[in-house]
Amino acid sequence: MASQTQPSISVKDDRIIIERAEITDPEVQDYFAEFDESEYDEALDKALRIGVVTLGLAQTSEQEEYVERRFEEMRHSFESEIERIEEQVEAKFGDDGEVPQTLEDHLGQDGKLRSHIEDAFGEDGVFVERLDEELGEDGDRIQQALDPDTEGTPTYRLKSSIQDQIDRLRDKIEEQATEEETEERMKRRSTLKGDDFEETVENLLSDLVYGTSHEVEPTGDKIGELTDRKVGDFVITLADTNQRIVVEAKSDQSYTQPKIKDELEAAIENRDADYGIIVFEAESQVPDKVGYFHEFDTDRLSIALSNDEEEDPEPGYLRIAFNWARTRAIQMHVDTGTELDPEAIQNEVSEVEAEIDRFSTIRKKTTSIKNTANEIDEQLDEIEGEVKTRLTDVRTELRSSADD
């Protein structure tokens, strides 16, 4: 391609400007001869694009040829180096190499090391002769030295040591078995006590309502009617009147009689209950004038389930307290008409109080009089039955009055 005049080429922004360009190349002239004059601009643009792309491909091809040539040179270099290393390995480790020859000289059939070993440990070697001298013929001395029944030998001492360890292990196992048996026995004695008195009371209440239509709900973690108060650990809903009895469980020696009354009043209000029971783990935790069983103002009751913290809780106390509270709740629920006999009901309540006093007295005896425990337990069952009967009579009187 040639030009008669010097062309002017400039690059501005997104375009290239070519001025005064004359092309005399025959092939280029033949190429443009195929187009109309109106198509020259488009043909020129196409020819330039094709030329630029072709030049780029040619440059890439040259680079690829260079890389390929360099890799080929490296391959030849590697192959030459590998051949050299193979020759050295063969010279060192081949069948006739230095290493196999050295091994044969020292470890072969007639090798030096084999000869030395044979001299030392062979049938007639120095080591065998020395063993015979030290251990005796056929090892008589070593047999005596290792006899576990010969006092003073190492094996006798080992046997004695093992026997001592076995004896100590047996004693430890027997001691542990005794401890586990004692622990299990104590656990059986304290199945009602547990580590958490509130959980103990929950189990006793569940047993109380089992097989009935009454319901027990744990409420100790719930905010009640009072602002930010959780007082009232359980609520018993009576099936026949839909009344609510709140129960508060305590294992605490800091309660006075006024504090007990206030706690019960707050629990009744907080749980919207008709009657309240506070249950202490032991009588030793409450004031003397409160004792095992004490009612405040006909709607609050304090009871203790044992004499002190070391005793197991007595479920009978809680059963009596529940029946008492249920009777009081029904008494408040019914319409007290003219046919209701308050004197008769009060007499029954007084009888219940007397029976509970007897129950408490006899229950205390069970902690000290072991030989008569069965007889006392029978009396407790009898008293509990009488209490239930009297409470049933009270409820019957209340219902009959309500029906009239």
**What would the pLDDT profile of 225-241 be if each residue is shown by its tens digit?**
888 888 999 999 998 88
Alpha helices in 34-153, H assignment, sequence order: 40-93, 98-107, 112-121, 126-135, 140-145
Q: What are the structure tokens assigned to 43, written together?
A: 């043909």
Q: In whole angstroms, what is the distance from residue 377 CA to residue 383 CA?
A: 10
Distance CA 26, CA 20 (A): 19
- At 125 the pLDDT is 66
H/E element, 16 = strand 15-19
* pLDDT for residue 343: 59
**Torsion 252-258-264-267 (CA) sign:** negative
Instruction: Flag whether 51 is in a domain.
Output: no
Of the listed ranges 73-82, 172-181, 345-354, the least confidently predicted one is 345-354
Token pair, residue 117, equals 């070993």
CB of 277 within 8 A of CB of 248?
A: yes
Q: Using CA atoms of 383, 384, 388, 391 in order, give the dihedral in degrees to the nearest 10.
A: 70
What pLDDT is attached to residue 192?
46
Specify which residues 293 forms β-bridges with: 303
Burial of 134 (0-12, 13-18, 19+ CB in 10 A): exposed
Residue 303 lies in a domain: yes
Q: Considering the chain, what is the average pLDDT of its residues?
A: 76
Q: Is the separation of the CB atoms in 286 and 280 below 8 Å?
A: yes
Domain membership flag for residue 17: no
Range of the domain at 276: 197-403
Contact 268, 276 (CB under 8 A): yes
| Whole-number pLDDT of residue 38 | 83
CB distance 308 to 283 below 8 Å:
yes
* Amino acid 194: pLDDT: 42
In a domain, 107, yes or no: no
Is residue 387 one of the residues assigned to a domain?
yes
Phi/psi class of residue 22: alpha, beta or left (left: φ > 0; alpha: ψ in -120 to 50)?
beta
Cα(110)–Cα(116) distance, integer angstroms: 11
pLDDT of residue 44: 79
Whole-number Cα distances in Å, 104 to 89, 91, 114, 367: 18, 16, 10, 95
Determine the pLDDT at residue 15: 76
Residue 16 CB-density burial (10 A; 0-12 exposed, 13-18 middle, 19+ buried): exposed
pLDDT value at residue 233: 93
pLDDT at 140 over 70: no
pLDDT in tens, 244-303: 999 999 988 889 999 999 999 999 999 999 999 999 999 889 998 888 888 898 899 999
Does residue 118 lie within any of the structural domains?
no
Q: How many Cα atoms are found within 13 Å in the side-chain-facing hemisphere of 363?
A: 26
Least-confidence region, from 58-62, 109-113, 197-201: 109-113
Average pLDDT over residues 200-221: 92
Predicted confidence band of residue 43 (pLDDT cuts 50, 70, 90): confident
Say what the pLDDT of residue 214 is. Answer: 93
Judged against a pLDDT cut of 80, whether residue 394 lies above it is answered with no
Please give the DSSP secondary-structure letter assigned to residue 128.
H
Percentage of the residues of the chain whose pLDDT score is greater than 90 = 18
The whole-number average pLDDT for the span 101-122 is: 68
Structure tokens at 387: 């209490």
Name the residue type at position 163: Q
pLDDT grade for 338, boundaries at 50, 70 and 90 = very low
The answer to whether residue 46 sits within a structural domain is no
Residue with the bigger pLDDT between 131 and 378: it is: 378
What is residue 335's DSSP assignment?
-
Distance CA 67, CA 175 (A): 85
Both structure tokens of 97: 């190499």
242: left (phi over 0), alpha (psi -120 to 50) or beta: left
106 in a structural domain: no
Each residue's pLDDT tens digit, 158-172: 767 777 777 787 777
340-381 pLDDT per residue, tens: 455 555 565 666 666 666 666 666 665 555 555 666 667 767
How many structural domains comprise the chain? 1
Count CB atoms within 10 A of the CB of residue 95: 7
Between 291 and 111, residue with greater pLDDT: 291
The pLDDT assigned to 127 comes to 64
- pLDDT value of residue 186: 55
Whole-model pTM above 0.95? no
Which tokens hold the place of 118? 């044979």
**Strands 15-19, 8-12: pairing kind:** antiparallel
Most confidently predicted of 107-111, 145-149, 200-204 = 200-204
